[in-house]
Amino acid sequence: MSLMTGEEYVESLRKLKLNIYLFGEKLSNPVDNPMLVPSRNSVKMTYDLAQIPEYQNLMTATSNLTGEKINRFTHLHQSTEDLVKKVKMQRLLGQKTASCFQRCVGMDAINAVYSTAYEVDKEYNTNYLDNITGFIKYVQKNDLTVDGAMTDPKGDRGLSPSKQADPDLFLRVVERRPDGIVVRGAKAHQTGICNSHEVLVMPTVSMRPEDKDYAVAFSVPVDTEGIMIVVGRQSCDTRKLEELSDIDVGNKNFGGMEGLVIFDDVFVPNDRIFLNGETEFAGVLVERFAGYHRQSYGGCKSGMGDVLIGAAALAAEYNGVPRKSHIKDKLIEMMHLNETLYSCGVACSCEGCKLAAGNYLVNLLLANVCKQNVTRFPYEISRLAEDIAGGLMVTMPSEKDFKNPVTGKYLEKYFKGTSSIPTEDRMKVLRLIENLCLGTAAVSYRTESMHGAGSPQAQRIMIARQGNLDHKKSLAKAITRIEE
């Protein structure tokens, strides 16, 4: 089997014995928990679309390892065309879910680890490439969802991993055995961890020789003994638990989730280890993963932006002002900003290059420019959407009030917009805008735009490093005939 259906994916999650906590309680059935079902559905869409002929050019690829047809989320990029298709696939899924669909981090992780493992093997005669290749084949054959785990809690940001007061604030190796290693620590902000089959762990920063125990990369099943998941809270999240709240939720069917993943002395067998103490390669791995993931944001965030722009245009129409010049100008600006994000994602893909391992890497400078724009433009797109929507977006009564026989008739009367549009439709659109700008989807759109794949300063550091300022100065000197 290389391609699971969406239903087969959901059933595969039921076979996992996940150790998940939410609101202080251990979940006996996380797959069907109403707080987590929308995020599960978002991942399910990555399987559903791969079954539809219209989308298979984007959603599937041919494995360079096995020659089989596979889901693109398990693919090693073999060309710049693959990199471009990745961005187009992500935009499509953003349009279909208006949320985070959670498989991007794993896709970016396997590509970064694969090329890094190749280079570590060349330097130290290790067998990491065989290990990661075997793992990727397994993932491709079974069409698994992989959680890419990079972000450590970090503790005191001014100290390196080995200098922390609590040594577990960065995930580390606590025991090396003949058959593998034992690791302890945690990974934070883990997108989609509850909906994943495997967790692929990577270091989160460059390492020094004294940080050897922290320079570790590996993968284990998410239900491995010693792994515990604590689900994070999101704004407006308990609306999903309320009766008569389909409209109040804003996006009933889809959503994202984040969690803290605790590794309490977890055993990792030798064939699942991809880095183990080679500190000088930790930074290489981090840089490549960050580049891939910053490229990703040009796709997923522009797809979600398409939905938000459409909702804002509908709100203007339902409010009776679609032809007002200032409304049209705001919608044009939203589209301009959104297409700029997408253009950066495509550009860094087209300018990608082949690595020694054989898979392709994005242009890192342009990928960082892409993500730097993502830390800004979705905020302006959201501001404009809120402007167009109006104050009712955040002062609207609940769906229960609309269904109440006493209050409902008044709300139907006084919250009417354009006479030809049902009041309920107007309410649905305003709640969708609220969801994308302020609610649970805002985690995937606004906040993740700021901090996902590294905060703004991280991109500025990389832009400074890769921008080649000396070359630019030499160009100016040549034009002005300044002698070196």
Catalytically active residues, by annotation: 100, 104, 191, 258, 293, 297, 300, 448
Closest CA to 386 of 350, 342, 334: 334
Beta-bridged to residue 220, according to DSSP, are 199
- For the chain, the residue count is 484
**CA-closest candidate to residue 30, choices 191, 199, 230:** 230
Q: Which of 62, 78, 65 shows the shortest CA–CA distance to 355?
A: 78
Neighbours of 303 (CB within 10 A): 26
Distances (CA, A) of 307 to 92, 302, 432, 445: 11, 9, 9, 11
